[in-house]
A and B are shown apart, each in its own frame.
Chain A
Amino acid sequence: MSIFEYNGSAVVAMVGKNCFAIASDRRLGVQLQTIATDFQRISKIHDHLFIGLSGLATDVQTLYQRLVFRHKLYQLREERDMKPETFASLVSAILYEKRFGPYLCQPVIAGLGDDNKPFICTMDSIGAKELAKDFVVSGTASESLYGACEAMFKPDMEAEELFETISQALLSSVDRDCLSGWGGHVYVVTPNEIKERILKGRMD
């Protein structure tokens, strides 16, 4: 069994018109036993920047705490929030530093950059950045997510349509993965508001 299948996860992010959406499942398991159905995989770094971490849950939490620490230092020094591209480079550097003993998680970063242009990217566990213009996926359900997103994605969707698309893609993919699911957690971010929604999914 792979180390990524120890806890199970599914994270996806999509780009819309001046907005982005990032979604994850809610299960936390220990191999085949479920121990929590409300695990927080997506975290806010600042109002226009979110990071979703899939993989080993302990590294998800450790890495999140480290990144929040580094971002707070940045805010103190620069007196502003970090741009998403800069943050992606920071995460990549932190992960690559541990090239030969890596953090066992794969981040998905989503943010609104200058001019409210949405930015998404994902990385493997040693920091190889993969920028995409449409969607990025990560986690044990990634293969199903690739397929679902490829089929359902349309460019330049508005926030409501984007929410519907990403939710359907997430729920249909986690239905085909034993290790992830138990509902969904979706954040849709536009320049004016953050809409956080919890989805009802199959609880098996």
Chain B
Amino acid sequence: MSQTAVDVPPKGGFSFDLCKRNDMLTQKGLKAPSFLKTGTTIVGLIFKDGVILGADTRATEGPIVADKNCEKIHYMAPNIYCCGAGTAADTEAVTDMVSSQLRLHRYQTGRDSRVITALTLLKKHLFSYQGHVSAALVLGGVDITGPHLHTIYPHGSTDTLPFATMGSGSLAAMSVFEAKYKEGLTRDEGIKLVAEAICSGIFNDLGSGSNVDICVITKGNKEYLRNYMEPNPRTYVSSKGYSFTKKTEVLLTKITPLLERVEITEVGEAMEE
């Protein structure tokens, strides 16, 4: 049997077999595709009882808004969440991968995951790809040692901070934090400050927009407030909707009736002696 490309899943990791062909196409003058980026404003801050993470919800493809309500706060562990900026596929893949590794680690050790574990796994992966996996992350969580907040850059460097912002809207959000952050904020003050910082990114940065997502993590509890604030509702909805006077001309119609989907449950009979 000849060993032609059998597409069974390999051991994991990246496969580079189309690189040569893509390079050849680029040399012939065909530009490489642009990827979905999350332009983004992502922030995190540590308050009295834990960590609050915030993110906007716009995903861009060049200058076009591809997704008006995407989720940028990714689940890592029941007590750890991670916001991602940069190339959307990279942030999703890297957070999913580390989330799986953390779960296996929890099964093995029998303990809750620590934020520093997630941090180390992420930074090792990103550093080994020398920044080509373009994921800029804000990682926050509360574990047995207390609340933690870290930022991770695409090349693998990390910072541990009481408040952090990343993404194209980071300067707009950081200005709000620098002006108003203080230690020992209560939950409501913290949420208000995070929402303000994200709104500052939404309104001043073109790469961020739509709604505000917030995630509050405290010891033993987490609250994911999806679309906590929607400061950009659609205001121009026509109540009548679109009516088409001219119908589309159809050349050919083929109708395939489908059999009704039946759930087959096997009713087993107990074995008799």
Contacts and interface: CB of A to CB of B under 8 A. Distances in A.
Interface in B57-92: 59, 61, 64, 66-67, 70, 87-90, 92
A200 B246 CA distance: 13
Interface of A: 1-4, 6, 47-48, 55, 66, 69-70, 92, 95-104, 123-130, 132, 142-143, 146, 151-152, 154, 163-165, 167-168, 171, 183, 191-200
Contacts of B22: 101-102, 104
B176 interface: no
Interface stretch (B13-21, B155-163, B206-214): B13-21
B33 A199 contact: no
A194 B89 contact: no
Nearest to A170: B248
B180 interface: no
For B64, B90, B133, B242, the residue with the greatest tally of chain A CB atoms inside 10 Å of its CB is B242
A163 B244 CA distance: 12
B258 interface: yes
Would you call the interface of chain A mostly helix, strand, loop, or mixed? mixed
Interface of B: 7, 10, 14-22, 25, 29-33, 35-36, 59, 61, 64, 66-67, 70, 87-90, 92-93, 132-133, 241-242, 244, 247-258, 260-261
Given A99-B89, A198-B251, A200-B249, A125 B18 contact: no
Given A6-B30, A101-B16, A102-B33, 14 more contacts: A1-B30, A55-B33, A101-B20, A101-B21, A104-B22, A124-B36, A127-B89, A191-B258, A197-B253, A197-B254, A198-B252, A200-B248, A200-B249, A200-B250
A126 B268 CA distance: 45
B255 A195 contact: yes
A98 B251 contact: no
A157 to B, nearest CB: 9
Kindly list the 7 A-B residue pairs having the minimum CB-CB distance in the complex, ordered from nearest: A101-B19, A128-B88, A128-B89, A101-B18, A200-B249, A167-B248, A124-B36
B18 A2 contact: no
Given A99-B133, A193-B255, A199-B250, A128 B18 contact: no
A196 B258 CA distance: 13
Contacts of A3: 25, 30-33
Given A151-B242, A196-B254, A191 B16 contact: no
A138 B256 CA distance: 26
Given A194-B256, A196-B256, A2 B251 contact: no
A168 B88 CA distance: 31
A129 B72 CA distance: 12
B89 A197 contact: no
